[in-house]
Copies of this chain bind each other. A is one copy, B any other.
Amino acid sequence: MADLEKFRAETRAWLEENCPPDMRKPMRGEEDICWGGKRWKFQSEAQKIWLERMAARGWTVPTWPKEYGGGGLSKEEAKILKEEMRRIKARSPLESFGIWMLGPALLEYGAHEQKAHFLPPIARGEIRWCQGYSEPNAGSDLASLQCRCEDRGDHWLVNGQKIWTSYADESDWIFVLVRTDREAPKHLGISFILIDMESPGVTTRPIRLISGKSPFCETFFDDVKVPKEHAPGVSAVVGELNRGWDVAKYLLTHEREMIGAGGSGAIGGAASPGEVAARLVGVDETGRLADPILRGRIAEAEIDGWAFLLTMERLKDEAKAGKGMGAKSSMLKYYGTEFNKRRYELMMDAAGSDGLEWEGERSEDGKLARSWLRTKANSIEGGTSEVQLNIIAKRILELPDA
Interface, chain A (partner B; CB < 8 A): 288, 292-293, 295-297, 299-300, 402
Contacts and interface: CB of A to CB of B under 8 A. Distances in A.
A295 B294 CA distance: 12
Nearest to A292: B292
Contacts of A293: 295-296, 299-300
A295 B292 CA distance: 9
Contact of A297 (B288, B295, B296): B296
Question: What 4 pairs between A and B have smallest CB-CB spacing?
Answer: A293-B296, A296-B296, A292-B292, A292-B296
A293 B292 CA distance: 8
Nearest to A288: B292
A343 B93 CA distance: 57
- Most B C-beta atoms less than 10 A away, residue of A288, A296, A299, A300: A296
Contacts of A296: 292-293, 295-297
6 contacts: A292-B292, A292-B295, A293-B295, A293-B296, A293-B300, A402-B402
A297 B292 CA distance: 11
Contacts of A299: 293
Given A288-B292, A293-B296, 10 more contacts: A292-B292, A292-B295, A292-B296, A293-B295, A293-B299, A293-B300, A295-B296, A296-B296, A296-B297, A402-B402
A302 B293 CA distance: 14
A297 to B, nearest CB: 7
Nearest to A299: B293
